[in-house]
Structure 1
């Protein structure tokens, strides 16, 4: 079995190809050709947790294994550590192991782009990015490379981190700048992406009537990056209804009518006269799609 380090995993998952792989996985999910089990959570010592996320289709199976240890930050170790293993679904032969953190960051950004495509939205315009961590960087890079975003405003809790990300994006040819207050540009932004771990809303309430909002940070019912009032103004799209019902605090706190929410697998494009909210919480099928792409990418080299 071949093992890819972080740099090799990133190289095997080009954003454009990853978006296409996810779109194809949506279709396979819709046809019932791929499936995933419910995520398993096992408590570990000192408040840690072990997460197991399996998925399979007719040809491949994948298992993502993640550990989360909040206390690691104090001793200089990663809080989140993970790997994804790809197997032959017929024989069980282990084919490829990949860096789970890199795979998750890249497929989450690609998932935002794929969700926007399913919602019928062009996300090549002016972009406001809230957050400056790993997910923010992957979204900035993906939207620049795939959608062609060339104007980017970045706001983060730590100004220096936002400026560092802006410098990185300027080196890639994007007109990127750090801003102190996202409300200054929220009505000018065509696309607003939130990648924070905030428990309270971070996206300003005043947005363009045709804005595309993407929220990927909140992953518990008590967390929300988008206010209930703004959620209720939007046409809402999610990666999976099951996951969103359990984990999308933005939608849960808004008391949303779930019958109006569209999952990516069978979504119809939204009208252009109201904002769109794309909310993702992650799913093992997306990891399977990424792992398959990485394996194919390496086989073709």
Structure 2
């Protein structure tokens, strides 16, 4: 007789999921996955499925496997929720054991998205920022602004942060988070001056309009996170072109060729740009000039986060 007894699956909430993903360990795990891509055929990350929804929303399905674990992230993106104090990203990651096909774990999707995105930025800053010690300017004080604040403070040692947001309330909340971490924290009322002061800049807005036009410092590291479709934009086209002419542009993955709205709208040939995998696998020396890192998202980042979370969860469950 076939055993049809249900197998218990731990379903973790946001707090429990976050506890399994320390910032530096997560950046290390992402770097390890990029190294493994060179000589491992077991890692598979199919192109994500994006189904448009009403009012500018999207439904994302992102599967991946490393040969031992298989995972699928299913999340919705509803930009209109921001004006109603509801999360813009909602959903889950379901983890399976490849050998048995059994469901092992359910992780909080928005938490994985926030932490792996900020950890990718952290890894890129570790590798590419000419002045990784900061100060840091964060443009956009939502979930990703908070994630990047914590990732850079705990993983890069950032001690000074400037915050810019269209919402005074959101900026004030992120300011208090920064102070709670022991950082020198300021509201960037004058964005031009903040850009000139900060060698680290992260833009993580809803990407409905250009938020950064000022050419950064010659030793700047600009990480553009918010725009992940061809229609979305955070950076002015002339800023992107100036970064290409006077510095270096790196994209997170080859998928940026049809997702990097900032670069596509600037008329830049994204297919010719190096990826973060190339930086890691070729062990690039730290650049001396300005760097623009364009992050669009990739199921491989979720796979790295899932692997780390699963190992951490197993250790906690061990007798």
Give the alignment's TM-score, normalised by structure 1: 0.92
Paired residues for 1:164-243 under 5 Å? 164-234=173-243, 235-241=248-254, 243=255
Q: Would the aligned equivalents of 1:162 and 1:178 in 2 still touch at CA under 8 Å?
A: yes
Name the CA distance, whole Å, in 2 between partners of 1:42 and 1:142.
30
RMSD: 2.2
Name the CA distance, whole Å, in 2 between partners of 1:94 and 1:3.
11
In structure 2, the partner of 1:253 is 265
- Evaluate the alpha carbon distance shift between residue 178 and residue 22 of structure 1 in structure 2; reply closer, same or farther with a 3 A threshold: same
Residue 70 of structure 1, CA deviation: 5.5
Q: Secondary structure at the match of 2:195?
A: coil
Residue 9 of structure 1, CA deviation: 0.4
How many equivalent residue pairs? 300
In structure 1, the partner of 2:133 is 124
Q: Would the aligned equivalents of 1:124 and 1:143 in 2 still touch at CA under 8 Å?
A: no
Name the CA distance, whole Å, in 2 between partners of 1:291 and 1:22.
11
Residue 28 of structure 1, CA deviation: 1.8
CA deviations over 1:106-161 (Å, ceiling 9, x no partner): 11100101122343645221111101000000000110001010010001001221
Name the CA distance, whole Å, in 2 between partners of 1:195 and 1:230.
16
Residue 180 of structure 1, CA deviation: 1.5
Matched, 1:8 2:8: no
Name the CA distance, whole Å, in 1 between partners of 2:163 and 2:169.
11
- Evaluate the alpha carbon distance shift between residue 230 and residue 271 of structure 1 in structure 2; reply closer, same or farther with a 3 A threshold: farther
Q: Secondary structure at the match of 2:178?
A: helix
Q: Would the aligned equivalents of 1:194 and 1:217 in 2 still touch at CA under 8 Å?
A: yes
- Evaluate the alpha carbon distance shift between residue 79 and residue 210 of structure 1 in structure 2; reply closer, same or farther with a 3 A threshold: closer
Paired residues for 1:140-151 under 5 Å? 140-151=149-160
In structure 1, the partner of 2:3 is none
Q: 1:91 aligns with which of 91, 94, 100?
A: 100
Matched, 1:244 2:256: yes
Paired residues for 1:45-56 under 5 Å? 49-56=58-65
Name the CA distance, whole Å, in 2 between partners of 1:155 and 1:162.
7
Residue 262 of structure 1, CA deviation: 0.9
Matched, 1:36 2:51: no
Name the CA distance, whole Å, in 2 between partners of 1:47 and 1:227.
22
Q: Secondary structure at the match of 1:36?
A: coil
Residue 44 of structure 1, CA deviation: 5.9
Q: What are the ranges of 5 or more consecutive residues in structure 2 without an aligned counterpart?
A: 1-8
In structure 1, the partner of 2:26 is 18
